[in-house]
Amino acid sequence: MNQLEALKQFTTVVADSGDFKQIDAYLPQDATTNPSLILKAVQKPDYRSLLTDTVARYRGRALDEVMDRLLVRFGCEILSIIPGRVSTEVDARLSFDSNATVARAERLIELYQAQGIHIDRVLIKVAATWEGIAAAAQLERRGIHTNLTLLFSFCQAVACGQAKVQLISPFVGRIYDWYKKTAGAAWVEADNAGACDPGVKSVRQIYNYYKKFGVATEVMGASFRNVGQITALAGCDLLTISPDLLATLAATKAPLERALDATLAQSLDLTRVNYDEASFRFALNEDAMATEKLAEGIRAFCSDSAKLEQLLLAA
């Protein structure tokens, strides 16, 4: 048994890619996309026709509508390959507008339903800002399930649990990146690997808290830099993994054991907390890493969305 097969015994494996032709080989349950992954995909010859066909069919429509139709086109292609759910992201430029986020999410779902896709097979990705979490709470009440992304802090996770969102995506690799960059020459890789990796520790804290207090929101570790981060989170509800790292896992025969266990979390001495808007904003502000990475992530997704729009206009 290779490590990918072993991991699937403990954790739902999710492919993190817009390159759906790569996904099939690894038999993931679900798949996730984002503006950066779609931008990367449409610049490959194999996927260029999806962009040009979408533009040709909907030429003259509002640019944001054409963008959503392209995202849904990719999502439908992915859903033809996987048995589970696909995550499709609301425009990151709406990250601080709850009403606009809800409206855009509803349109994405309508577009999927027009293609015969059941609502339960789609997760709408929303940035885990206070406004994004509030929007997700509204969407969940309407039966639209959400994936709260760009999640870097415990307070974001707690607020998502309070909002009863379907799933969160804590970003392991970007947390790791921040701590490594901040430490500079003082960073010792061996001391910050595996279970000691700061991104891994963040996900473990969230996972244990959710399981201790019966929070139903699913935890999906994301944004991995190396296989060690993945294996250190074996047992997490889900892990979304790039095709390159899926290939590495599939090629590795080393033993893999469960690292996270919901039963063990029940015995931990933890304190339940709650956040309102003021305490959430203060807690996030107190976490320099989360504040910086959330802002940086939104800017990057906004930039890639704008680049994708330029490709649509040029097609």
125 is catalytic: yes
Secondary structure element (H or E) that encloses residue 238, with its range = strand 238-241
Q: Count Cα neighbours of 282 within 13 Å in the Cβ-side half-sphere.
A: 6
Query: Do 93 and 39 contact (CB within 8 A), yes or no?
Result: no
Burial, 75: exposed, middle or buried (Cβ in 10 Å; 0-12, 13-18, 19+)?
buried
Other Cβ atoms less than 10 A from the Cβ of 275: the count is 20
φ/ψ of 218, rounded to 5, equals -80, 145
User: Of 40, 125, 164, 307, which one is the catalytic site residue?
Assistant: 125
Where do runs of H (alpha helix) occur along the chain?
Answer: 3-10, 20-23, 35-42, 45-58, 63-79, 98-114, 130-141, 154-162, 172-183, 198-212, 227-231, 243-250, 262-265, 277-286, 288-314
Which residues partner with 220 through β-bridges?
Answer: 238
- Please name the residues in contact with 89: beta carbons below 8 A apart, sequence gap of 6 or more: 33, 34, 35, 71, 124, 125, 126, 149, 301
Catalytic residues: 125
